Structure 1
Amino acid sequence: MESTALDYNYTYDDNDEKPVEPCSSDGENLLGGQLSTIYYFMFLFSLFGNGLVLVIIHRFEKLTTVTNILLLNLVVSSLMFMSSLPFLGVYKQLSYWIFGEVMCKIVGSVYYLGLYSSVLFLTLLTFDRHLAVVYSLRASQVRNQRYALLSCAVVWLVSGLACIPKMILHKTFSTLIDNKMFCQEHPGNTMSIDDKLRASGFYLQLFLFLLFPLIVIVYCYVRIAITVISSKIVTRFKTVRLIFVIVLLFFICWTPFNIVELIHDDDDDDDDNPSCDEKKKRGYAREVTHDITYIYFCISPIFYTFVGKKFQSYFRQLLVKRFPGLKKHISVSQVSRTNMSTKSTQKSIELS
């Protein structure tokens, strides 16, 4: 699996199919095994945090609003992605695959589908907020349940189609050196159809799941910031700071991963193979940038949900109800379902 940085540098000669002496990746594997321990914590944190989002939506909100439909799908895609991390954690700690060929395909499919759909749902949520703030009056006619369901269907379809090249390449195989089983993209011939699929899959990820979302997110939040500032409401100016944090987090966490992958792809296309030291440095960079990306997608649904005062109020209500002793320490403003109409919920940007 290329995106998990599980590249053990086992290479094969295309002419006689005999193994070539590999560059040692012990240091990279050790770093990957150490970092993979946080996968279990990320999985548990994501399970708790996203589960809390689902509870709040179920108890206090309705699934008839655009925002809640998009949030629900973002939570599902995040949980789907995070469900693959415990398997990848075991894989990286052992340095070989123990779950069999069927689970290799299932985990790989869930990983890529969850990863790609999470990026697009985050972009879709940003675009929807842009509509609600910048075109609040006209957008109310467009932002309905049908629009939300159709948008989610398109995201799942595009994400599923984008996974096809990865899924064709993703398989189990054993090395001729130690006969251990691996679950990732097979390091096949550089001039084969597999190599063309690998290149197409990477550039699809680069343009559709990095550049396009980044452009949309930056554009939408710039327009939101301009609208908020022009409103001349003093209490809204903290929204601009939050907007900056959202864009910065996406850029910091998602861009290095793709840059490292781009460097890796360019090195593989060169006639002169990089030195062993260069491979090791690149391997360390892939391990770290992948894990940073995982952390972002772990917290993003929770972050996007709890930046709003309404969801913060719901969370405080849950805490006080579960732990009555906290009532004297936590101020709770009652926000009921009946008071929050569909129209007002859709117009709310949940940023202040």
Structure 2
Amino acid sequence: MLQNNSNCSTSHFRYPFFTSTYSLILLFGLPLNLVSLWILVRRNGLKKSVPVIYMANLALSDLLFILSLPFRIIYFAKGNWTLGNTLCMIPGTLFAVNLYSSSLFITLISVDRMLAVVYPLRSRPLRTAPVAWGLCATVWVLIAGLSVPTAMNHQENKDEECNVTRCFEKYTTDEWWNGFYILCCVTFFGILVPFGIILGCTVAVVRQLRGCSMTTSSSNSDMSKIKIVKLFLSNLLIYTICFIPFHIAFILFALNKLKLLHGGAFHDIYFNIHTVTMCMASSNSCLDPLIYYFSTKQLQSRGRCDSSTKTGGIGLILSTSLTPQ
């Protein structure tokens, strides 16, 4: 039972905010990703289509996180953890698993589409199902390695002041230091580097499409270009809303928590910003279906760059459908 103490009260906005946000993500994210995964697997298959392989793995990552949300909802609704240490570690770990696996799978999708548009012939040996499955397996192995220290740093702990058991909060100083080292590492390799790759892919595709003269009708050409660009913009949108703000806020909050940045007067500000951006990061599982939508639109229009474009005399075929690559 919570004591009559302001530090123990669940009236702080983060408790109802997390409860309502996670409930909405569960409500919308679960059916969206289940339907997306069903469409990807049943209608498109996983044997030949490279984009489908990447997107199916992305949907699986989102589903794993969404299925862990009931544990978070129960905790933030009650303010006391009663489900044991193992079940405390799983949701915290799956949040990190989803965040960084999503980042890497979105990067693979962007690179694959860029290669298909900018280097359609030279990239064929790289854009095969075995290569795609190998890259996906590599991502899961890397994420599995990350999950071990993450899980060990997300154990339940006893809040003696409030006489309750905590999960997802109230970590010790040592746990904060360990978490900070992990955070800095994954922010660079799991967020900043992929974001730079996606941005580079987007610029390369836009430049290619601007120099491409389509042989099909003007309206079909413009529609094809718009759909391709929307796919890349949806990737950048997810990063802009979900990944970047959360990591900036988390690093600032951690520096303040470790007394390396500003003083106690700023603690509440960083804490509240971290709370809001964490919910924004969690929403990526609802935004990822945007990628499935723009990628699986059955656009059959194809175009070809003529010999006057910057690519020389090579005919470049642009296709945004999910035909086997």
Secondary structure of the corresponding residue to residue 124 of structure 2: helix
Q: CA deviation at 1:237?
A: 4.0
- Report the CA distance shift for 1:150/1:246 in structure 2 as closer, same or farther (over 3 A): closer
- Report the CA distance shift for 1:225/1:271 in structure 2 as closer, same or farther (over 3 A): closer
Comparing 80-89 and 227-236, the one that deviates more: 227-236
What is residue 307 of structure 1 aligned with on the other side?
294
Query: Which residue among 145, 148, 151 is the counterpart of 1:167?
Result: 151
Whether 2:17 is the aligned partner of 1:39: answer no
- Report the CA distance shift for 1:139/1:313 in structure 2 as closer, same or farther (over 3 A): closer
Secondary structure of the corresponding residue to residue 283 of structure 2: helix
What is residue 184 of structure 2 aligned with on the other side?
203
What is residue 58 of structure 1 aligned with on the other side?
41
| Alignment check: 8 A CA contact 2:176 2:258 kept | no
- Report the CA distance shift for 1:184/1:248 in structure 2 as closer, same or farther (over 3 A): closer
| Alignment check: 8 A CA contact 2:64 2:94 kept | yes
Q: CA deviation at 1:199?
A: 2.4
What is residue 209 of structure 2 aligned with on the other side?
228
Whether 2:267 is the aligned partner of 1:286: answer no
Secondary structure of the corresponding residue to residue 117 of structure 1: helix
Q: CA deviation at 1:125?
A: 1.1
- Report the CA distance shift for 1:87/1:174 in structure 2 as closer, same or farther (over 3 A): same
| Alignment check: 8 A CA contact 1:140 1:347 kept | no
- Report the CA distance shift for 1:61/1:285 in structure 2 as closer, same or farther (over 3 A): same
Number of residue pairs the alignment of both structures matches: 293
User: Runs of 4 or more off by more than 6 Å in structure 1?
Assistant: none
Secondary structure of the corresponding residue to residue 184 of structure 1: coil
- Report the CA distance shift for 1:93/1:278 in structure 2 as closer, same or farther (over 3 A): farther
- 1:236-273: CA deviations, max 9, x gaps? 44247523453244223221111111111221333687
Secondary structure of the corresponding residue to residue 136 of structure 1: coil
Query: How do residues 185-204 of structure 1 correspond to structure 2 at under 5 angstroms?
Result: 187-189=171-173, 192=174, 194-204=175-185
Comparing 149-158 and 230-239, the one that deviates more: 230-239
What is residue 349 of structure 1 aligned with on the other side?
320
- 1:261-311: CA deviations, max 9, x gaps? 111122133368722x522222211111111111223221x1111114xx3
Measure the CA separation in 2 of the matches of 1:133 and 1:272.
45
Query: How do residues 97-136 of structure 1 correspond to structure 2 at under 5 angstroms?
Result: 97-136=81-120
- Report the CA distance shift for 1:350/1:96 in structure 2 as closer, same or farther (over 3 A): farther
Whether 2:128 is the aligned partner of 1:144: answer yes
- 1:144-203: CA deviations, max 9, x gaps? 1210111001101111212232222111111111220112366324xx5x4542222111
| Alignment check: 8 A CA contact 2:8 2:162 kept | no
Structure with the higher helix share, 1 or 2 = 1
What is residue 250 of structure 2 aligned with on the other side?
261
Measure the CA separation in 1 of the matches of 2:259 and 2:17.
31
Query: Which residue among 67, 70, 73 is the counterpart of 1:86?
Result: 70
What is residue 218 of structure 2 aligned with on the other side?
none
TM-score (norm 2): 0.81
Measure the CA separation in 2 of the matches of 1:257 and 1:111.
12
Q: CA deviation at 1:59?
A: 3.4
Measure the CA separation in 1 of the matches of 2:225 and 2:53.
28
Alignment identity in percent? 24
Q: CA deviation at 1:24?
A: 4.1
Measure the CA separation in 2 of the matches of 1:71 and 1:269.
38
Query: How do residues 62-73 of structure 1 correspond to structure 2 at under 5 angstroms?
Result: 62-64=45-47, 65-73=49-57
Q: Structure 2: state its 5+ residue gaps.
A: 215-220, 301-316
Secondary structure of the corresponding residue to residue 181 of structure 1: strand
Q: Which amino acid aligns with 2:241?
A: I
Measure the CA separation in 2 of the matches of 1:246 and 1:285.
23
Q: Which amino acid aligns with 2:275?
A: E
Measure the CA separation in 2 of the matches of 1:119 and 1:272.
28
Q: CA RMSD in A?
A: 2.8
| Alignment check: 8 A CA contact 1:42 1:298 kept | yes
- 1:290-347: CA deviations, max 9, x gaps? 11111223221x1111114xx3459xxxxxxxxxxxxxxxxxx9xxxxxxxxxxxx97
What is residue 320 of structure 1 aligned with on the other side?
none
Q: CA deviation at 1:34?
A: 3.1
What is residue 321 of structure 1 aligned with on the other side?
none
